Amino acid sequence: MTELTELTAVQLLDGYRRGEFGPVEATRAALRRAEEIQPELNAFVRITAEEALEQARAAEERWRRGEPGGLLDGVPVTVKDILLLAGHPTLKGSLTVAPDGRWDEDAPSVARLREHGAVFLGKTTTPEFGWKGVTDSPLSGITRNPHDPARTPGGSSGGAAAAVVRGAGPLALGTDGGGSVRIPAAFCGIFALKPTYGRVPLYPASAFGTLAHVGPMTRDAADAALLMDVIARPDSRDWSALGPAPGSFAEQLAGGVRGLRVAYSPSLGGQVAVQPAVATAVRRAVERLAQLGAYVEETDPDLTEPVKAFHTLWFAGAARVVQHLTRYQRELLDPGLREICAEGARYSALDYLAAVDVRMDLGRRMGRFHDTYDLLVTPTLPITAFEAGVEAPKGSGHRRWTGWTPFTYPFNMTQQPAATVPVGTDADGLPIGLQLVAARHQDALVLRAAHTLYEAGVAAPVRPGGS
């Protein structure tokens, strides 16, 4: 029998429906796995076992009566420690956030999960204030990759990815300001979606502004679609949230890719040096898309690397996060964060608005690009996971995390939906991700294309040890 910790949310719900097992058994299994992996991987800030079991017992009683309380009743989930979870402090990886306080409010996505009966296993690790593409912080130390603990899981939702891979809940909520659900999902071998900006409400508003998205991290696209059906609902606390989604994401998974116009950009027109194993795995998956009926053309978007503008927006946002801190508190910050905050504080309003202009022009160009192409396919990352505890691979020549994430952060600037699917491993067994990008508001199309890759056997979760 397959272990409960290996089942997807869809499979768990099917088992509850059939009476084969219940939420309490599934939650106990997920909690055991969370406790087992914590010493090695450091995926959690805190594990809320007692509360989770109480929620699971209530869900089990509802299932016993044949009255499940929502789309995810009794399904174990984790929440990145950037998002509010009522009853628990949200410390955001920082020694500067005081744990005492009321902590009596859920973030919108968390509130929707609670309404649908989800079981909260705990809060997952993040770099300080989610500022970088790897996961280590002054508060909780280094989080490690489930395939090789000497390597990073990526970030900033690294704890969430590690938890999903190792069976500590099939569903995770992450945040993505420059790739922060896609980077760790690619490094760890799972699925993640950065939805269109505003599709999943966010409160409190991020200091990184409209770069920041909330998104699902799961084993496959079907689970992500189910999770989106729960969290992609308006919330009055987010003034920039979109209206109700047009239909169920789960119900729009079928249909395949036949007839879709797919642009395949292996290196953004030669701008990016991609590891051979990554390039080969992504190309093989793209060839399968063509076999499945998509019209594939190798071409590149007009995407002159906008890193300077992104840094202006990102560093200024970071400076705003710490603006209220005392000199003593600033000494407690991650040294890299302290550096970018100092740089961000030197920008003028005109510098910021110039970066906004670059962003708007990039969005216009990508909008025109998608007049011709339904989907853009790229590698999610040009590399596989590197040494844990550093911001950029040693010897790479990159100082900041944006140097090795050229495929992810531009689509935070344009607010487009973008997903990563696992399409193989390198010679060391480290996962490789393929990125699917569509025009704004075409989240269902991204999920459908990703689901097609899973159905065709091209995409699959990468299990530690290749098992």
> Average pLDDT for residues 159-175, to the nearest whole number?
98
Task: Give residue-wise pLDDT tens across range 112-148.
Answer: 999 999 999 999 999 999 999 999 999 999 999 999 9
> Average pLDDT for residues 153-176, to the nearest whole number?
98
So what's the pLDDT on residue 96? Answer: 98
> Average pLDDT for residues 82-111, to the nearest whole number?
97
CB 340 within 8 A of CB 131: yes
Which CATH number covers residue 267?
3.90.1300.10
Per the structure, the count of domains in the chain is: 1
Asked if residue 378 has pLDDT above 90, the reply is yes
So what's the pLDDT on residue 228? Answer: 98
Task: Give residue-wise pLDDT tens across range 19-50.
Answer: 999 999 999 999 999 999 999 999 999 999 99
Is 80 part of the annotated catalytic residue set? yes
So what's the pLDDT on residue 466? Answer: 59
Taking the model in full, what pTM does it have? 0.98
> Average pLDDT for residues 159-180, to the nearest whole number?
98
Asked if residue 304 has pLDDT above 90, the reply is no
When the pLDDT of each residue in the chain is averaged and rounded to a whole number, the result is 97
The closest alpha carbon to 71, from 255, 251, 241, 207, belongs to: 251
So what's the pLDDT on residue 101? Answer: 86
Asked if residue 467 has pLDDT above 90, the reply is no
Asked if residue 1 has pLDDT above 60, the reply is no
Is 156 part of the annotated catalytic residue set? yes
Which of 94, 137, 140, 156 is flagged as catalytic? Answer: 156
Domain extent at residue 276: 4-466
Asked if residue 305 has pLDDT above 80, the reply is no
Which of 180, 194, 206, 265 is flagged as catalytic? Answer: 180
> Average pLDDT for residues 394-407, to the nearest whole number?
97
Is 396 part of the annotated catalytic residue set? no
Asked if residue 339 has pLDDT above 60, the reply is yes
What percentage of the chain carries pLDDT values higher than 90? Answer: 98
So what's the pLDDT on residue 267? Answer: 97
What percentage of the chain carries pLDDT values higher than 70? Answer: 99
Task: Give residue-wise pLDDT tens across range 407-466.
Answer: 999 999 999 999 999 999 999 999 999 999 999 999 999 999 999 999 999 999 999 985
